[in-house]
Chain A
Amino acid sequence: MFRLLEESGFTRVRSVVVPHFRFRKPATQSSAEAYGVKAVLFTATRPAPG
């Protein structure tokens, strides 16, 4: 996603992992952990001309 944002023209792309994100059901959480699934907060800016 980070790369997608930059390739699409966004600047000042930042990301931070959402702490405490997890799935409710233990089996789902286990599967998610196996794939390194996490929630991330992204910010970016569409550049202004000049």
Chain B
Amino acid sequence: MTDAVAAQESLESILKGEILRMYQEVADKPEGEYHFFHGREAAELFGYDPAWLDRAPAGAVASFAGVGNPHLRSAIQPGETVVDLGSGAGLDAIIASWSAGASGKVIGVDLNPSMCLKAQAHAAASGTRMECHQGQMENIPLPDASADVVISNGVINLSFRKRKVVEELFRVLKPGGRLSFTDIVSAKQLSQSIVNDPKLWAS
């Protein structure tokens, strides 16, 4: 392994740790102030139907940390299998389950196993079901061609290896399957000092 590869892997490991810490903090202290909007305020900013936010468990709404609204274009149909990549406290997965219905299936994937437990608890509290698997978006723990729809909200931008993530999205989708996700993009190349600062990635 070259020094550059080792350094990259080390930084990636640190980054994932910082991401875990940041989003765990949002889940544990939703009343806190962060660099980004979160909770109901953020969801309403991005066009989430207030009726959804009234219907979903308060804990799932309070810990929402997305950057947009993938439901605007997801067109989830009853009976479909939906994967929520980076499912967090479960708000998007729960909303997806309302469209997929009892004959459908919603599967969350999250780096943080405790968030998986939280999301499943929120889903159960809302009268719906979801699976959740702990895992990395660069190696989605799901079989090939298993999803009709993949949604994701402000997560893919947290990866060092976006090409691998996109290849995984392609792999897990069924032929004809659909993707609807939000991502943070920048018009300009970020400086290396920014790229190397894990705290800025998770802000």
Contact = CB atoms under 8 A, between A and B. Distances in A.
B102 interface: no
B167 A8 contact: yes
Given A5-B166, A18-B46, A21-B68, A40 B183 contact: yes
B23 interface: no
Contact of A44 (B67, B179, B185): B179
B124 to A, nearest CB: 29
B37 A24 contact: yes
A9 to B, nearest CB: 6
B203 A28 contact: yes
B183 A1 contact: yes
Contact of A43 (B46, B67, B154, B179): B179
A38 B68 CA distance: 10
Interface stretch (B50-58, B129-137, B169-177): B169-177
Contact of B176 (A9, A21, A22, A47): A47
A47 B186 contact: no
Nearest to A45: B178
Contact of A41 (B176, B182, B186): B182
B178 A44 contact: yes
Interface-centre pick from A23, A28, A37, A41 (highest chain B CB count, 10 A):
A41
B180 A42 contact: yes
B1 interface: no
B137 to A, nearest CB: 13
Contacts of A44: 178-179
Interface of A: 1, 4-5, 7-10, 14, 18, 20-25, 28, 34-49
Interface of B: 33-37, 45-46, 67-70, 72-73, 154, 156, 162-163, 166-167, 169-170, 173-188, 190, 203
7 contacts: A5-B166, A10-B179, A23-B36, A40-B68, A41-B73, A43-B73, A45-B179
